[in-house]
């Protein structure tokens, strides 16, 4: 077995790993990144980016199909799944190819293979051809192995009709009937895509609310629109298993309240969550604490319990978000290089690309109250914004939660058009500790969607102009 020595070894080339590797190289360290599949990880290859590409297609298709209300009459509109998938694949290839170019430009060595720790300073890599290589890390090993889809024993996947997110972003035929098991981010985002492109959608969620953990009144807006478009939503329901019909379709058995029913579908999307990839790579053998779920606990500098071994991204547990992983990657690179750095953010924003979008930063109403805050809430509807009406997308609102005594902003929750972009201003407001008046007194351009943030903050204070104050 040959041996190579680097300052740092990064295991995993996803949004956490590749960012960490590049930053390490920028700081003057010799670094190698080990990736067993494709650089970019879940996010670029079959998660964030491909799904958003398909969401864009579905949104454009729906706008064209219903353009008559704006005076746009489109004839002969149809979906070509092959062209759609080829377009999506081109985006993925461009971005993953870009990472390889960035590695090359910054002097990062990329090795493709499966990694296993053999000590606190060494990693053994097995290449596709079976050859092995020992990598020695002089200053640190970074675990950035992400998370994997949770499989349900009662719903065995075949990769064709019973699928996970990985297969769902690559369907080259729009199913006639799609059933999503799980009303979380994956189930609703991809379920909405295929519903807009013509599929009959059923969502089976075991818990009382879709998108558990998201501000409830935001999810209600999304649920109403799904139902209006014809989706069937089953909450407090459990998928028991499925059988195959003689015509090739599936019959899903669902426990719905006190009765069991059978739902016919052509494709079953199992989207019950993701599990951290902390097991099976030798971490426990070298003394790293790995929880039963596969999560690797770390401190605010990304350190595990074993000196010299760090972890970042989804493998460190929730929230499983690419931008969190990237930020952790930068922090750990700085720490390994000997600089003062820590994950000391006030909030990590989150976005769900449903229709309409939902985005959040800071505390929910329930969290704020549980923390002992006496709160005030401001709410401004997109229906009150000329820009939203002009776009034909006026569902939803912007909600601002503030501390009643100090008037400090505690949380902002948006459901509506471009929520994922608008949340950036709210995130900055929380990060710098603003009070509601700071946002309310800031002049926002007109006509824009961002005016809603100003109005929502003013509403929390009781002096909004374009909606009725309490």
> Which residues belong to the active site?
446
Contact assessment for residue 343 and residue 300, using Cβ atoms and an 8 Å cutoff: yes
DSSP string, 1-46: -EEEEEEEEEE--STTHHHHHHHHHHTT--EEEEESS-TTHHHHHH
Phi-psi region of 197 (alpha: psi -120 to 50; beta: other; left: phi over 0): alpha
Contact assessment for residue 350 and residue 360, using Cβ atoms and an 8 Å cutoff: yes
Contact assessment for residue 138 and residue 5, using Cβ atoms and an 8 Å cutoff: yes
Rg (CA), the chain: 24
DSSP string, 274-323: EEE--SSSSTGGGT----TTS-----TT-B-SSTTEEE-GGGG-SS--HH
Buried b (16+ CB within 10 A) or exposed e, 401-424: bbbeeebbbbbbbbbbbbbbebbe
Burial of 190 (0-12, 13-18, 19+ CB in 10 A): buried
Buried b (16+ CB within 10 A) or exposed e, 251-263: ebebbeeeeeeeb
Handedness of CA 296, 301, 303, 308 (dihedral sign): positive
Paired residues of 362 in beta bridges: 411
H-helix segments, 107-208: 165-168, 185-196
Paired residues of 237 in beta bridges: 256
The full length of the chain comes to 470
Greatest Cα pair distance, the chain, in angstroms, is 73
Could you give the CA distance from residue 170 to residue 46 in angstroms, rounded to a whole number? 8
Q: Which two tokens stand for residue 156?
A: 């065995």
């Amino acid at each position: 077995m040959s041996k190579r020595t680097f300052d740092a070894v990064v295991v995993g080339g996803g949004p956490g790993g590749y960012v960490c590797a590049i930053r390490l190289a920028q700081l003057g360290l010799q670094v190698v990144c080990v990736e067993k599949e494709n650089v970019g990880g879940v996010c670029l290859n079959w998660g964030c980016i491909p799904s958003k590409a398909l969401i864009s297609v579905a949104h454009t298709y729906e706008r064209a199909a219903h353009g008559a209300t704006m005076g746009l009459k489109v004839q002969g509109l149809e979906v070509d799944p092959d062209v759609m998938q080829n377009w999506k694949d081109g985006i993925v290839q461009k971005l993953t190819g870009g990472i390889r170019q960035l590695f090359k430009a910054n002097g990062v060595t990329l090795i493709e293979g499966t990694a296993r720790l053999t000590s606190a300073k060494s990693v053994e890599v097995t290449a596709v051809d079976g050859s092995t290589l020992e990598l020695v890390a002089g200053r640190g090993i970074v675990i950035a192995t992400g998370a994997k889809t949770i499989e349900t024993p009662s719903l065995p996947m075949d990769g064709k009709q019973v699928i996970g997110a990985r297969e769902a972003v690559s369907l080259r035929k729009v199913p006639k009937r799609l059933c999503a098991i799980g009303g979380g981010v994956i189930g609703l985002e991809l379920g909405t895509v295929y519903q807009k492109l013509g599929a009959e959608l059923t969502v089976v969620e075991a818990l009382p609310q879709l998108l558990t953990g998201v501000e409830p009144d935001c999810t209600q807006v999304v649920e109403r629109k799904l139902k209006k478009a014809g989706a069937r939503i089953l909450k407090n329901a459990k998928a028991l298993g499925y059988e195959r019909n003689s015509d090739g379709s599936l019959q899903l058995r669902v426990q719905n309240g006190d009765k069991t029913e059978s739902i016919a579908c052509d494709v079953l999307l199992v989207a019950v969550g993701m599990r951290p990839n902390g097991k099976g790579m030798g971490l426990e053998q070298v003394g790293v604490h790995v929880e039963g779920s596969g999560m690797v606990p770390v401190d605010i500098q990304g350190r595990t319990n074993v000196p010299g071994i760090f972890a970042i991204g989804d493998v460190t547990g929730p929230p499983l978000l690419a931008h969190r992983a990237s930020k952790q990657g930068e922090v750990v690179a700085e720490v390994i290089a000997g600089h003062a750095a820590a994950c000391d953010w006030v909030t990590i924003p989150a976005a769900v690309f449903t229709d309409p979008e939902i985005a959040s930063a800071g505390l929910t109403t329930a969290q704020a109250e549980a923390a002992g805050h006496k709160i005030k809430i401001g709410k401004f509807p997109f229906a009150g914004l000329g820009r939203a009406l002009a776009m034909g997308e006026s569902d939803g609102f912007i909600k601002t939660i503030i501390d009643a005594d100090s008037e400090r902003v505690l949380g902002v929750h948006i459901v509506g058009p471009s929520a994922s972009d608008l949340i950036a201003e709210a995130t900055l407001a929380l990060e710098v500790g603003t009070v509601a008046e700071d946002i309310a007194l800031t002049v926002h351009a007109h006509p824009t969607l961002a005016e809603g943030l100003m109005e929502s903050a003013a509403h929390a204070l009781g002096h909004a102009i374009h909606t009725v104050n309490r």
